Amino acid sequence: MSFAMQSRHHLSYGVEESFGTLPQPASFRTVRHTGCDLKLSRRTIDSDEIRSDRHFAHVLQAEQQVSGDLDFELSYGAYDDFLAASLMGTWQSDILVTGTHETSFTFQQHFQDIDLYQSCSACRIDEWELVAQPGRMITGRFGIKGRSLKNEADSLDETIEASASFAPMDSFLGSVREGGDLLAIAAGLDLKLENGIDPVFALGAENSLAMTSGRSRLSGELTAYFENGALLEKFLNKSFSSLELTLSGEGGSYHFHLPNIIYTGADLPVRDEKEIILSLPFRALYDETEGTNIKITRIAS
């Protein structure tokens, strides 16, 4: 008897030509991942009918949707499609900015030891998180929302393309700049992008007809070495600033530019004899000059 083992799990994706529809023939690519928990959930409706034995008379099943997280270690070229879908933009000359382009995917899981395929269709990136800390892998998460999940007898693509195979990134160069002038050296950065994606259901349909997008809400927390009062003054004076971050590794680099941020807090704990680290949560807002709240530039080595 064979049991499905996590070590034999394979994940791939195909870009849909329209919401829920793959091109024919379909073209899939392997997804490198450290975790995946795509699942189907279904809303239930309890009957209000009163029974003398105290039991529920009926429980009906209603709308359903796919949700879950895809965890990853950032590697050059491996997640460019997902970064673009997260920002709802398209890569133009290796530059990506926030836009309004809606991209959907079909994900396929293959539990190889029991030879079972499972597909999740009409999936969109609702959230994206990135965590950069010195001396650690650059990790992240894509939060997925989709329409349907089903078991498949065979693979949706018999010749799945391999993903970019560069080693994960494990270092970064971070700086806080104002008008091009260096304000501080970053010790770490957490980013979170929320798209506010919600499914749209119609009367009599268990699957969503579409998914609506909310506003691009980009927030995060910067940790920086406490060298002077420049960053603290930004928070105290309610001043706007900018943030630049370069993540480098085998194959190339990603340069992240947040041109217009406002700090929403400042934490300066002193608990031991080590260096003092300043923690500043922030919101990233639209910048008139750049025309976006974030700009990502990919640079091949």
pLDDT digits (tens, 9 = 90+) for 191-226: 999 999 999 888 877 888 889 999 999 999 998 888
pLDDT digits (tens, 9 = 90+) for 249-270: 899 999 999 999 999 999 888 8
- DSSP bridge partners of 65: 41
pTM of this prediction?
Answer: 0.92
User: How high is the mean pLDDT of the chain?
Assistant: 91
- Do 256 and 247 meet the contact criterion of CB atoms below 8 Å apart? yes
pLDDT (0 to 100) of residue 44: 81
| 217-225 vs 181-194, strand pairing mode | antiparallel
Q: Write the DSSP assignment of the chain as a string of letters.
A: -----GGGEEEEEEE-SBTTB--SS--EEE---SEE--EEEEEEEE-----TT---S-EEEEEEEEEEEEEEE--TTTSHHHHHHHHT---BTTEEE-------EEEEEEETTTTEEEEEEEEEEEEEEEEE-TTS--EEEEEEEESEEEEESS-S-SSPBPPP-PPPP-EEEEEEEETTEEEEEEEEEEEEEE---EEE--TT-SS-SEEE----EEEEEEEEE--SSHHHHHHHTT-EEEEEEEEEETTEEEEEEEEEEEE---B----SSS--EEEEEEEE--BTTTTBS-EEEEEE-
* Three-state secondary structure call for residue 55: coil
Q: What percent of the chain has pLDDT over 70?
A: 96
Q: Which whole number is the average pLDDT over 181-189?
A: 77
pLDDT digits (tens, 9 = 90+) for 12-22: 999 999 999 99
Q: Which whole number is the average pLDDT over 42-49?
A: 86
What is the token pair recorded at 206? 């268990």
Sequence-ordered alpha helix ranges (H) in the chain: 80-87, 230-236
pLDDT (0 to 100) of residue 206: 83
Could you report how far apart the first and last alpha carbons of the chain are, in Å? 48
pLDDT (0 to 100) of residue 179: 56
pLDDT at 176 over 80: no
- Which residues 6+ apart lie within 8 Å of 58 measured at CB? 46, 47, 49
pLDDT (0 to 100) of residue 88: 98
pLDDT at 116 over 80: yes
pLDDT at 275 over 60: yes
Q: Which whole number is the average pLDDT over 153-160?
A: 93
